[in-house]
Structure 1
Amino acid sequence: MKLIRLATIAALSTTVLAGGATSVFAQEAREVTTEGQVQFTAPTDEDGELEVIPPLDPEDEESPDVDINPEVPGTTGPLSIMKAATMNFGSQVISNQDQVYNMVAEMQRLANPEEGGPTEVPYVSFAQVQDLRGTNEGWDLQVRLSDFESGTQNNILTGAEISFVDASLRYEGMNQENAPEVHEAGLTLMPNGAARSVMTAAQSKGAGASSVVWGNQADLNAQFADDAIEVVENNAIQLSVPGTTAKDAATYTSTLTWELTSTPGDDA
């Protein structure tokens, strides 16, 4: 009888263990989740120099492939003016009538010039801001103008004004809702007047690279291809000079000061 009892107990024990193993294997895992993570920080000097991003659509056949140097070499960010417009209104004949002069188109270096062809081409003027702070605080790009001066008797070009006839925006971002705003057509700079906003990103906007663009590239290309045209002009930026202003036979020079602040203004 003792042998039978022991055998029965052993058999029952085996059954209990087998049942326990069956219960464990029934807990199948058919779907699980894990975590992926990346952290971003604002760039510093150690992260290298920033590059100007040409504002024209690279897929547009009218857009030349150009290399553009930063306005300040060695700029590293994270909130920086990468490019600003340099304005030359050419050589003009002295006149006693009110005159409006188009800006001479800025030239930019071709990235891959053809052998025997030009190394530089006329290119739209633009100002570019790169915001890599990652804080979405917004910013304001303003510009002000000093007097046009020469070292001659009539050394101030009294009444001269620069007008931005028209402007467009190029925002290098997937989410266009984050794009800043550019100034309205006809924005005027008066010498020694208040700084004027040319591009403004309200809070939560303006991250990445943004450019306010002046000029029509197709028009500049057509002028450049016309052998009868000696000077390619960008009519999106103009200088007006009163006829009553005394002008000496000299070069008059002004300074444009571009300033970027992290607090958006109300002027744009």
Structure 2
Amino acid sequence: MKFIRLATIAALSSTILAGGAVSVFANETREVTTEGQVQFTAPTDEDGEPEVIPPIDPEVGPDVEIDPEVPGTTGPLSIMKAATMNFGSQVISNQDQVYNMVAEMQQLRGTEGDENKVPYVSFAQVQDLRGTNAGWDLQVSLSDFTSNTQNNVLTGAEIEFVDSRIQYEGTNTENAPSAHTTGLTLLPNGAARSVMTAAQGQGAGASSVIWGDQADLNAQFADEEIETVTNNAIQLSIPGSTAKDATTYTSTLSWELTSTPGDDA
């Protein structure tokens, strides 16, 4: 009698365990998905100043540190760098002349002093951290070259952007803005001209329009017979008929960034 009862209980237990095993196998979960999330907002003054991103790969060209054009710039859509143009000291001539720009100099990273500056391509950089992909337009205009002497205006002077290229720091190249056409000319007191334009859906992040060949500047700098390194991507032309005094003439380049792309791209 005891034997039968034990056998019966054992058989019943086995049935429960077997049924349990079948039930667990049917409800096994081998794969699930969960959600990850991150939210971005446009930077404010409290988030600190963005840095100028040198457009030349430091493994190819000099590794430099470049200060923002306007210290304290923090806005989410800003001009971080613009080109300063010096066409050097030239001999007065009654012939039409074209002068290359003197190459801009930048500080080698981690150094101080003018002796540690090297020639660098000229460029203008826009940083768009708004996160709206709304597009933008960078334009520049030129005033007269003037002095405080008798012949105080360089009549007929023009600046030409001979050639350019775009350096876009984003991974999606379709977001890169467009550069101006080759041979873009600035006329004193003329209309502002677009030098870099991002259509809607373009221009997020850091974008630079570059004038000059860094390899050429490096070669000039290494040549001990060359006293002044020049950048032939930006040129000043002056008619021979323009009266010129023995003095320095200066002009103002006005750079303007608008959030709506213009038609002059």
Q: Same fold (TM over 0.5)?
A: yes
Alignment partner of 1:152 is 2:149:
yes
Moved more, 116-125 or 201-210: 116-125
Q: Cα offset for 1:184?
A: 1.2
Question: Within the alignment, does 1:175 sit opposite 2:172 as a pair?
Answer: yes
Aligned-pair distance for 1:59? 3.0
Are 1:136 and 2:130 an aligned pair?
A: no
RMSD across aligned positions (CA): 2.4
Equivalenced residues, count: 259
Find the residue that maps to 2:188 and give its secondary structure.
coil
Partner of 2:188: 191
Residue 201 of structure 1 corresponds to 198
User: Which residue among 111, 124, 129 is the counterpart of 1:127?
Assistant: 124
The answer to which of 13-22 and 241-250 deviates more is 13-22
- Runs of 4+ aligned structure 1 residues displaced above 6 Å come to 13-20
CA contact (8 A) 1:157 1:246 kept: yes
Partner of 1:47: 47
In the TM superposition, what is the alpha-carbon distance from 1:118 to its structure 2 partner?
Answer: 3.9
1:1-268 counterparts in 2 under 5 A? 25-26=24-25, 27-60=27-60, 63-113=61-111, 118-268=115-265
The two structures have a TM-score, normalised by structure 1, of: 0.90
Provide the TM-score with structure 2 as the length reference. 0.91
Task: For residue 266 of structure 1, report the CA deviation from its aligned partner.
Answer: 1.6
1:16 shift after superposition: 10
AA paired with 1:160?
A
Distance 1:117 1:89 in 2: 19
The answer to whether the 8 Å contact 1:65/1:112 transfers is no
Q: Do the aligned partners of 1:77 and 1:130 also contact (CA within 8 Å) in 2? A: no
Q: Which amino acid in 2 is paired with 1:123?
A: Y
Ranges in structure 1 where 5+ consecutive residues have no aligned partner: 1-9
SS at match of 2:159: strand
What amino acid is the match of 1:202?
Answer: A
Query: Residue type matched to 2:24 in 1?
Result: F
The 1-side partners of 2:155 and 2:261 are apart by 31
3-state SS, counterpart of residue 219 of structure 1: helix
Q: Alpha-carbon deviation of 1:77?
A: 2.4
- Partner SS, residue 95 of structure 2: coil
